[in-house]
Amino acid sequence: MFHIGIDEAGRGPAIGPLVVCALAIPESEKEILRLIGVKDSKRITRKKREEMAERIYLEAENRDWSIGIIICKASRIDIERNRIDLNKLEIELFKEAIIATGMKDENGTIQADACDVNEQRFAERISNALGEEWNEWEIHARHKMDSDEILVGAASILAKVRRDKEIDEITFLLDRDIGSGYPSDPKTIDAVKELVRSELPNKYLRWSWATVKNAWIKEHQTPIPIRQELGEIGIQSSLNEW
């Protein structure tokens, strides 16, 4: 029997992707994660997270483990939010990460860190999204499960490490310090102000975030453009027409 732990990193930032990771391991091998020292990614340093992630990947290569990681770029977040809310988008991303483990034909338990105020509803939505092909799997969702369940904590570490690497790459490509990407970070706020000064907001920004919208309006005195399918950009009416 297998267990799958799943968690996300980067739900709230104004810059960069949201990353979801699903880690599938045999139930009998959870003890290996304890020996690695796995705990909630928010409670350990970046250096320690990277060391643990490296060990988890090494174990995955040598054992019957599987990892599914989905990187949801800022552009997809904005486009999806034209039709659904963030909770529903995360359901889709959790589904994609679970499917990416390739464990459909096995059976066991899926443990998810709930991203909805209603834990049961979150679990039911994951089940409905996965469909009948995953009926052999039990699905449990709880708030702060990354702190309570070691497998979810491990998935949290892998998601966080991957998001950190994505932020490092964006920092390199932009040739400027963007901080953590979170609106509470002064470096991020300064970066957002700079990245809305062109004809369009920078592609790494989440245009649908209030932080970015407000910075754009302050700079341009017009509503922020709307990302649409196939790279199209929708232009909103002027502020006076709102």
Looking at the fold, whether 144 and 208 belong to one and the same domain comes out as no
Confidence (pLDDT) at 41: 63
Looking at the fold, whether 90 and 199 belong to one and the same domain comes out as no
79 close to 229: Cβ distance less than 8 angstroms = yes
Looking at the fold, whether 149 and 59 belong to one and the same domain comes out as yes
- pLDDT at 177 exceeding the cut of 70: yes
Looking at the fold, whether 60 and 94 belong to one and the same domain comes out as yes
Looking at the fold, whether 189 and 141 belong to one and the same domain comes out as no
Structural domain contains residue 42: yes
Looking at the fold, whether 180 and 68 belong to one and the same domain comes out as no
Structural domain contains residue 110: yes
- pTM of the full predicted structure? 0.91
CATH number at residue 7: 3.30.420.10
Average pLDDT (197-225) is: 97
d(CA 188, CA 218): 16
- Number of other CB atoms surrounding residue 131 within 10 Å: 11
204 close to 16: Cβ distance less than 8 angstroms = yes
Domain boundary among 139, 168, 197: 168
Average pLDDT (198-215) is: 97
Looking at the fold, whether 17 and 135 belong to one and the same domain comes out as yes
By percentage, how much of the chain surpasses pLDDT 90?
83
By percentage, how much of the chain surpasses pLDDT 70?
94
- pLDDT at 233 exceeding the cut of 70: no
Contacts of 181-184 spanning 24+ positions with Cβ under 8 A: 181/10, 181/13, 181/14, 181/15, 181/16, 182/12, 182/13, 182/14, 183/12, 183/13, 183/14, 183/209, 183/211
Structural domain contains residue 241: no
Average pLDDT (41-52) is: 87
Looking at the fold, whether 146 and 182 belong to one and the same domain comes out as no
Token look-up 């990681």 returns: 69
Structural domain contains residue 132: yes
Q: How far is CA 227 from CA 12, 78, 205, in A?
A: 19, 6, 11
Looking at the fold, whether 182 and 150 belong to one and the same domain comes out as no
The DSSP code sequence of 164-211 is HHHHHHHHHHHTS--TTS-TT-HHHHHHHHHHTSSSS--TTB-TTSHH
The DSSP code sequence of 121-147 is HHHHHHHHHH-GGGTTEEEEEETTHHH
Average pLDDT (174-196) is: 97
Looking at the fold, whether 154 and 186 belong to one and the same domain comes out as no
Q: Determine the structural domain holding residue 107 and report its residue range.
A: 2-168
- pLDDT at 228 exceeding the cut of 60: yes
Structural domain contains residue 242: no
Token look-up 């920004």 returns: 205
Domain boundary among 142, 168, 194: 168
Confidence (pLDDT) at 40: 60
Looking at the fold, whether 203 and 110 belong to one and the same domain comes out as no
Structural domain contains residue 144: yes
Q: How many domains does the chain have?
A: 2
Amino acid at 30: K
pLDDT (tens digit per residue) in 77-113: 999 999 999 999 999 999 999 999 999 988 999 999 9
Amino acid at 115: C
- Number of other CB atoms surrounding residue 18 within 10 Å: 25
Looking at the fold, whether 195 and 215 belong to one and the same domain comes out as yes
Structural domain contains residue 114: yes
Confidence (pLDDT) at 44: 86
pLDDT (tens digit per residue) in 104-157: 988 999 999 998 899 999 999 999 999 999 998 999 999 989 888 999 999 999
Structural domain contains residue 19: yes
Domain boundary among 115, 133, 168: 168
